[in-house]
Structures are given as structure tokens and as C-alpha cells.
Amino acid sequence: MATGVARRRFTLDDYHKMAEAGILSEDDRVELIAGEIVQLSPIGKYHAACVKRLNRQLGLQLGDEVVIGIQDPVALGDDLAPQPDVSVLRAREDYYAEGLPSPEDILLVMEVADTSLAYDRQVKLPLYARAGVPETWLWDLPQQLVERHSDPSEWGYRSITRAGRGEQLASTVLPSLVIRVDDVLA
């Protein structure tokens, strides 16, 4: 007799309780996606360097206008807490100590993809779009380019703009943000 495998879906509250109980630690590279705890890829040195360069560029260009999160979770729903490589959030005095940023708080997220490109493109970007995140940048390290995804809908982002080496890309949400691709990819 064949038996089916039962899957247990977790809520954001369950996920936080697992962390409080020590089942998940701060060092675990996981995120909550559609009720499932997903193991993230290890971060390589080139990926890490690009995230650091992005953090610097965002800090220099946006200053105190925003709060910048680096590989911090954002709450997109009751069962969604992805950890974008970079999140640019509305400024808040408590720096989100009182709760995770929600879609209304998120101005822009950035994913830096080397080995995670397919996952970021096929899973995470559609989730960001459905949640109404106004803009997502996908840094494609193998192709040495960045894609700006904007105009979110239930089915994904309706507008995609690409920039490669020697080019720059401006945000549609943050007019003062213009990043030269070479400044991040070095």
C-alpha cells in the first residue's frame, strides 16, 4: 500500500518560534518561502564582495533617507520571509526592531546571483512582484549584468531593463539612485 508524504507548512509565527526555541539559529542560511523552510546557497567571495559594494554605493547615494538591510528577512505574507541580499526600506526610527519590514516598507530589493540565478529569477522575483515590491534588481554575476524589474503585477514584473559593463542603471523608485555596473562588479 502506497502512502503519501505529508508536508507541514509553517507560518511566519512558527518560523520565529523555531528561532526563539533554538531550532533555527542566526547562522542558519534559510528563508521561509510559501510555508517551506528553504536552505540557501553558500555565499561565495565574489558574491559577498558585490553585496558589500552595493551597500557602500547605497549608503553614499541615499544616506539617511532609507534603512539598508543586508541579507535580512522581509515579511511578504503569513508564510513568506525571504532574505534578499539587499533591501532598501523606508526610514524608521526603530530600524525595524519592532517587526520585519512588510511590502509597504520596501522600496527596492536586490538579489546577487551566481549559483542561485534560476531560483532568484523563477521563485523570488515573482514573490516580490506579487507582494507589490515596486522594484527588484537582479545582479547576474555569470553574465556580468544587472536587470531592473519594475511595475509589479500578480504575474510578475511588467518592465525589465538590463545594463552591462560600462553602463549604469537608475532606480525608478529612488530618483537619486544611479549605480554604475562596474562599481559593483569591479
- Which secondary structure element, helix H or strand E, spans residue 65, and what is its range? none
Range of the domain at 78: 42-185
Domains: count for the chain? 1
* Mean of all residue pLDDT scores within the chain: 92
Q: Is there a domain that residue 18 lies in?
A: no
Q: Is there a domain that residue 59 lies in?
A: yes
- The per-residue pLDDT for range 6-62, each reduced to its tens digit, is 777 888 887 877 888 888 887 788 777 887 877 878 789 999 999 999 999 999 999
pLDDT (0 to 100) of residue 15: 80
pLDDT bin (cut points 50, 70, 90) of residue 151 is very high
Given a cut of 90, whether residue 108 has pLDDT beyond it is yes
The candidate with the shortest Cα–Cα distance to 131, out of 170, 53, 61, 78, is 78
pLDDT (0 to 100) of residue 30: 78
C-alpha cell at 15: 518560523
Q: DSSP letter at 8?
A: -
More confident residue, 70 or 2: 70
Q: Is there a domain that residue 30 lies in?
A: no
Q: Is there a domain that residue 104 lies in?
A: yes
Q: Is there a domain that residue 16 lies in?
A: no
Please give the span between the terminal C-alpha atoms of the chain, in angstroms, as a whole number: 58
The candidate with the shortest Cα–Cα distance to 106, out of 92, 120, 124, is 92
CA distances from 93 to 65, 66, 67, 96, 97 (A): 11, 10, 9, 8, 9
Q: Is there a domain that residue 51 lies in?
A: yes
More confident residue, 13 or 145: 145
* The model's pTM: 0.89
Q: Is there a domain that residue 7 lies in?
A: no
pLDDT (0 to 100) of residue 22: 82
User: Which residues, including other chains, have CB under 8 Å from residue 35's CB and lie 6 or more apart?
Assistant: 9, 10, 11, 79
Q: DSSP letter at 13?
A: H
Q: Is there a domain that residue 48 lies in?
A: yes
Instruction: Write the CATH number for 170.
Output: 3.90.1570.10
